[in-house]
Amino acid sequence: MNLTLAQLASMSGVSRSMLSEIERGNANPTYGTLWHLTRALEIDLNSLISGASEERGGGSIIDLQPGNLTPTIRSADGSCTLQILSPANMVSLIEWYLLSFEAEGELASDPHGAGTIEHLHCTKGEIVVRSAGNTMIVRTGETARYAADVPHALKSVGPVGASAFLVVASGEIGPGTQRTSVSSR
């Protein structure tokens, strides 16, 4: 397949300038960028990044993603690491991540698609969630659900950092992901 940068940009929705930077080795594509490119080129992203598949009794297939092959990205300032746990073929509907924050680390996000909800479960430390003008502290063992179709941010509180699981559910999933109102702290 012989494509120009302009043609690939048009097919994938990834800008020509970003494609050029990736091609020259000046930028690494994000997981989302790879997903858009592989969809445009009709390549299975999972086949590019997945680990071994192991067959165990009864003919069932278990896909194993070794830790050293789990895609990992960092926030713009480097204070938050996101391990991408979801398979690439689900990225348009639901994604899940393991987050690790340095002390006072922050992850600020632009709005996702209409109706997108994030579900954050804090496994260590405390995390301040900001969404749609609301702020709440989420402590170890607690789960917060909030609008992610508006600018939103997560920030660890205190000197020890924090860890959490984050599920991003697209508005296309349906009414089962509706957030409910809870009292703020």
Q: Tokens standing for 169?
A: 């559910």
User: By residue range, what is the domain housing residue 164?
Assistant: 67-177
* pLDDT for 22: 78
Q: Please report whether residue 57 resides in a domain.
A: yes
* pLDDT for 156: 98
Q: Could you tell me the mean pLDDT of each successive run of 10 residues in the chain, 185 residues long?
A: 84 84 74 75 66 52 76 86 84 88 94 92 98 96 96 94 95 56 46
Q: Within a 13 Å sphere around the CA of 35, how many CA atoms are in the beta-carbon half?
A: 14
Continuous segment of H or E residues that includes residue 83: strand 80-84
Q: Report the relative pairing of strands 60-63 and 143-147 from DSSP bridges.
A: unpaired
* pLDDT for 52: 46
Question: Pick from 47, 63, 79: which residue ends a domain?
Answer: 63
* pLDDT for 184: 46
Q: Are residues 71 and 59 in the same domain?
A: no
* pLDDT for 121: 98
Separation between Cα atoms, residue 98 and residue 84, nearest integer Å: 7
* pLDDT for 58: 57
Q: Please report whether residue 185 resides in a domain.
A: no
Helix or strand or coil: residue 48?
Answer: helix
Q: Please report whether residue 40 resides in a domain.
A: yes
* pLDDT for 177: 44
Domain tally, the chain: 2
- pTM exceeds 0.85: no
